[in-house]
């Protein structure tokens, strides 16, 4: 009977720093109770960590300070274990595409199901729920990139999808000014045609906010392809809906941007 210690070393020798409980039970010939006891012992020795019940990470010596490898190294096998599609997005995707202003303190993943956030060692993972219909239409290979790691690849939002995701969920992406900086940093890399095709299936308000910020950042080619979506809007929306006016009458005093059908209730600041 192979010991769990040896099994971990064997996984690492195969370039695989993760496994499921089912795989281990089959490979080791242990009872469930014996496996749980052995896994608990190795977790206390910082050789093993479990981000989700039944899924384990093998910790190398260099991982033990942070408590786990970079989530980009194991998010793909974890999501396959959970049977869910996903994409890395928001701040981590913005950083991947070149937005150096935003430190990605939280590893954010968009999924079509409600999932609890998790903390593992020093890493924080946040799962952002997206309507399954919209998710299915946007989470396609042509809109995704790949983060390469020693275990393979992880799915990451392409630059156009990252921009729309950051705009849709800007309250989770450093607020409206953090979003404006992301748009400034990576907006020029967006392919206008791809952006227009994605905008067809994305929420109208997010498309209009993105168009406004692209124009403010000087990315006119990218902004222009979104103008037609704003022309179809039937009502004005707040640029930053998280800022509530003290009195309803104050809404009438906001600057109106009729091109993007937005009420500018927040001054956007962008660093050069």
Q: Where are the alpha helices (DSSP H) in 45-158?
A: 75-82, 90-96, 132-138
> Which of 140, 142, 259 lies closest to 191 in space, CA to CA?
142
DSSP 232: T
CATH topology of domain 4-66: Arc Repressor Mutant, subunit A (1.10.10)
Q: How far is CA 180 from CA 56, 110, 192, 195, 217, in A?
A: 38, 20, 18, 17, 8
> CA-to-CA distance for 76 and 86, rounded, in angstroms?
8
What's the pLDDT at 269? 81
> Is the CB of residue 262 less than 8 Å from the CB of residue 238?
yes
Asked if the model's pLDDT at residue 2 lies above 80, the reply is: no
The answer for residues whose C-beta is within 8 angstroms of residue 66's C-beta and 6 or more apart is: 121, 122, 123
Confidence band of 1 (pLDDT split at 50, 70, 90): very low
Confidence band of 185 (pLDDT split at 50, 70, 90): very high
> Is the CB of residue 68 less than 8 Å from the CB of residue 59?
yes
Q: Percent of the chain beyond pLDDT 90?
A: 76
What's the pLDDT at 112? 98
Asked if the model's pLDDT at residue 115 lies above 90, the reply is: yes
The per-residue pLDDT for range 224-252, each reduced to its tens digit, is 999 999 999 999 999 998 877 655 555 56
DSSP 203: -
Q: Where in the chain is the domain with CATH 1.10.10?
A: 4-66
The per-residue pLDDT for range 198-234, each reduced to its tens digit, is 999 999 999 999 999 999 999 999 999 999 999 999 9
């Amino acid at each position: 009977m192979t010991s769990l210690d040896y099994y971990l070393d064997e996984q690492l020798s195969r370039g695989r720093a993760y496994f499921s409980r089912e795989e281990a039970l089959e490979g080791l010939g242990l009872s469930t109770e014996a496996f749980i006891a052995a896994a608990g012992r190795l977790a206390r020795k910082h050789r093993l960590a479990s981000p989700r019940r039944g899924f384990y990470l093998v910790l190398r010596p260099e991982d033990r300070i942070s408590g786990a490898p970079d989530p980009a190294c194991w998010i793909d096998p974890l999501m396959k274990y959970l049977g869910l599609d996903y994409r890395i997005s928001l701040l981590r995707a913005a950083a991947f595409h070149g937005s150096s202003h935003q430190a990605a303190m939280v590893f954010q993943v968009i999924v079509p199901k409600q999932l609890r956030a998790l903390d593992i060692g020093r890493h924080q993972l946040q799962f952002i729920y997206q309507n399954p219909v919209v998710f299915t239409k946007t989470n396609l290979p042509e809109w995704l990139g790949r983060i390469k790691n020693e275990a393979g690849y992880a799915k990451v939002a392409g630059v156009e999808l990252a921009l729309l995701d950051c705009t849709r969920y800007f309250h989770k992406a450093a607020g409206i000014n953090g979003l404006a900086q992301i748009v400034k940093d990576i907006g020029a890399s967006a392919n206008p045609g791809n952006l227009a095709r994605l905008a067809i299936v994305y929420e109208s308000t997010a498309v209009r906010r993105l168009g406004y910020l692209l124009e403010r950042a000087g990315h006119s080619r990218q902004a222009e392809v979104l103008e037609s979506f704003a022309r179809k809007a039937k009502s004005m929306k707040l640029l930053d809906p998280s800022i509530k006016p003290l009195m309803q009458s104050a809404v009438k005093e906001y600057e109106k941007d009729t091109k993007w059908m937005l009420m500018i209730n927040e001054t956007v600041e962008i660093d050069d």
